[in-house]
Amino acid sequence: MSEKVLITGINGFVGKHLTDYLLDNNYEVVGFDIKDNLENKIISEDIKIYTGDLRDEQEITTVIKNYNPNLIFHLAAQSSVKLSFENPAETLSINLIGSLNVLEAISKLQTPAKTLLITSSEIYGQLKPDQVPVAEDYPFEPVNPYAVSKAAVDLLAYQYYKTYKLPVYWARAFSHAGPFQRTVAVLSDWAFQTARIELGLSTPEIKVGNLDVTRDYTDVRDTVQAYIDILLKGKPGQPYNVCSGKGYHLSELLDTITSFSGKKIKVVPDPSRLRPVDIPILIGSPERLKKDTGWQPKIDIDTTLRDTYKYWIEYLTPQIQ
């Protein structure tokens, strides 16, 4: 009998890739998501999705109790730093209370499901160049509401592991990118804008925020493999950085993306895309993850960017036919 998997936030960017992988490897998969997130469904129509709000303890408890999964990937979150400044209360509510309800639900199972929670590299805060690559023992120094919410989830996971001996795992996800990512993410937004320019749907100008930033990027397909490896091979009760260990300057990634178009593109600063506080450099150490699970990233950044651009070209092409 195949293992039963529940994915919260299943119709999101990572949920799409995780679902595809699990189905290809003969797992039984169901999902949980908010109804509004299913208007543009990107996963298979055959997947059963329960709809509800994670902040309603009864709704998620009922799903977990009735389905009784072996594995849970808790992906659902408000994951935009920009939106977290605009609505900090909702960010904290969704991310912290939602995670609390998932943990409470699995604590009531006769055999608790192995559960992966996703936190964030943003919890490390404004690192200096001599502090990277940052390892998991670095203290929390969050500088935005999203990071605060994820630091709380990180601590909550530890508390439930220590208090109830639950099989809880958590990944501190650094930046990841790839096809199907929404334009709230900067690389996908640039690929989307460049694809529109290439197809003649907009003028040859690309709007950008702060380019003087260095980030550690991993392809979403490698990220998904890391999440699976943590649940199947990792140790419960400790965090894992999910990252490449490489830093990429955003201006260089922008140059790569715009080079996919045959048109000359002007870069235009857009103040509305700036954050109140930014993190200049964020590079992680994946050594614990590699040591405990054998995980290695396989997809290079150029492939990630080109695949993201191709996705948007294919998505937008029907608009010009």
State pLDDT tens for residues 131-146: 999 999 999 999 999 9
State pLDDT tens for residues 252-303. 999 999 999 999 999 999 999 988 888 999 999 999 999 999 999 999 999 9
Instruction: State the total domains in the chain.
Output: 2
Give pTM, 2 decimals.
0.96
Residue type, 17: H
Mean per-residue pLDDT of the chain: 96
Same structural domain for residues 63 and 120? Answer: yes
Same domain, 159 and 298: no
What would the DSSP string read from start to end of 188-248?
Answer: HHHHHHHHHHHTTSS-SEEEES----EE-EEEHHHHHHHHHHHHHHS-TTSEEEES-S--E
CATH number at residue 52: 3.40.50.720
The CATH number assigned to the domain holding 196 equals 3.90.25.10
| pLDDT, mean of residues 187-195 | 98
Segment 40-48 shows an average pLDDT of 86
pLDDT at residue 321 above 80?
no
Same domain, 251 and 166: no
Question: Model confidence over 64-123: pLDDT tens digits?
Answer: 999 999 999 999 999 999 899 999 999 999 999 999 999 999 999 999 999 999 999 999
What is the predicted pLDDT for the residue at 285? Answer: 98
Residue 288 lies in a domain: no
| Boundaries of domain holding 300 | 181-215+246-282+294-320
